[in-house]
Amino acid sequence: MKLSVIGTGYVGLVTGTCFSDLGNDVTCIDVNQAKVDGLKKGIIPIYEPGLSELVLRNYEEGRLKFTTKASEAVPEADVVYIAVGTPQSDTGAADLSAVWKVVEDIAPHLKEDALVVVKSTVPVGTNAKVFSQLKELTGRECNVASNPEFLKEGSAIDDFMYPDRVVCGVRNKKSEDMLRQLHAPLLRTAKPILFMSPESSELTKYAANAMLATKISFINEIANLSEKVGADINDVRVGMGHDQRIGFQFLFPGLGYGGSCFPKDVRALTSLSETLDLEPRIMRAVDDVNVHQRASLVRKIDAYYGGKIAGKTFGIWGLAFKPKTDDIREAPALDLLQYLVEKEAKILVHDPEAMENVQAMFGDKIHKYCENVMDAVEGVDCLAINTEWNEYRTPDFAQLKTKMKEKVIFDGRNLFDLEDMEKTGFSYFSIGRRSLECG
């Protein structure tokens, strides 16, 4: 099929590239000329494992193209995907201004039998509004479907190519048949393609992300309780996870969730409920717990040093909100960095991918951006770990001792075993477990 994908952000670029890799003729459209020029040269604006190679291969083989002009691609497209960003507005609701701009731009160019698919994460009812807007602009009833994405940063290509399920919101058999044909190569392992109303598909996306966010906030509340009562959250987690009704996924304590999806989607669902005069008690609590949890290391460090931070040197491992991404949106590390900057501490940081983004935000307020992980602990009073990159899981503790001024570690991701840490001679503070203080 011939596809046009509007938007080359995380969702649009992954979607367009993967569909081209399946043999479709795909043109990705973006208003940013510099981004489009870069993509043509193989410059990828985001970090996602395997994406750069996939983009380059399909571009060179002619299946994947990039342009800034809808008029160049939309007229020939069988399917037009809307995959622009829907950031959180000041009210907490999704900002759909980019969606409406796309609708205006594509309307003059849509061929009569084209299918418009809303891929962006949008509030319930958006599909119906897109349908109405296109009818007004074109003078005819256009086919409009919804196909929410369920991509995890760091494993987006696998998530696209080997989905748990494909969710499609459709209003007629023609749209269903086109989406079934388009997704057929992804469903050879008997994974289902689920057809439902557009409203149900829109709500499914929010409900799924909100459920996962709820599990994270719940286990973090239990972790905080574990510290107070002398329990070990890892034992509690294992005891819970073996219950098949609960499972282990998203049941890891830490510094909460961040990134572009969970925080925004939980708040958007909250906002939607409020506009319908419903009381979103669980969603508000999930968000409140997460915001509080992100500052866990701040509170632990502040308590340990009695607030006397000025002049001390801190090594920071991990800046991205999760491993395998350079995304720092609502990352817990930002809370810690802001605290240390305000307290006039000296800061050394390391992250395999996110340092450039943090440098754009903090600049020279951070003393050193270290390319080598061990350079970030040279002469520090303590080490704080925010992201569970594999590079941090098995450090040479003997080398750490020689490099660090004081032997203190604050671990926001519970990377190390407590019994092993007792043998190292480090003071060690983690989440939901007893503290180790070595004189």
Cβ neighbours of 338 (radius 10 Å):
15
Q: 221 is written with which tokens?
A: 């509340």
Check residue 50 and give left, alpha or beta (phi > 0: left; psi -120 to 50: alpha): left
Q: 171 is written with which tokens?
A: 């209003």
Is 344 annotated as belonging to a binding site? no
Is 340 annotated as belonging to a binding site? no
Is 258 annotated as belonging to a binding site? yes
Is 64 annotated as belonging to a binding site? no
Q: What's the distance, CA 22 to chain centroid?
A: 25
DSSP helix/strand/coil, 190: coil
Distance, CA of 55 to CA of 198 (rounded, Å): 30
Is 254 annotated as belonging to a binding site? yes
Q: 């973090």: which residue's tokens?
A: 220
Q: 């040479």: which residue's tokens?
A: 396
Is 252 annotated as belonging to a binding site? yes
Q: Return the percent helix, strand and coil in the chain, to nearest 5.
A: 45, 15, 40
Is 40 annotated as belonging to a binding site? no
Is 423 annotated as belonging to a binding site? no
Catalytic residue among 18, 261, 370, 382: 261
Q: In what order do the strands lie in the sheet with 2-6?
A: 64-67, 25-29, 2-6, 79-82, 115-118, 143-146, 166-169, 193-196
DSSP string, 56-89: HHHHHTTSEEEES-HHHHGGG-SEEEE-----B-
β-partners of residue 284 are: none
- Give the gyration radius of the chain's Cα atoms: 24
Is 152 annotated as belonging to a binding site? yes
Is 121 annotated as belonging to a binding site? yes
Closest CA to 175 of 313, 79, 73: 79
Torsion over CA of 166, 214, 430 and 243, rounded to 10 degrees? -80
Whether 261 sits among the annotated catalytic residues: the reply is yes
Strand 427-429 and strand 408-411: the pairing is parallel
Is 86 annotated as belonging to a binding site? yes
Is 336 annotated as belonging to a binding site? no
Q: 330 is written with which tokens?
A: 């609502």
Is 195 annotated as belonging to a binding site? no
Cβ neighbours of 231 (radius 10 Å):
16
- Residue ranges at the known binding site for substrate: 150-153, 205, 250-254, 258, 322
- Residue ranges at the known binding site: 30, 35, 86, 121, 150-153, 205, 250-254, 258, 264, 322, 329
- Residue ranges at the known binding site for NAD(+): 30, 35, 86, 121, 153, 264, 329
Q: Where in the sequence numbering do the catalytic residues fall? A: 261
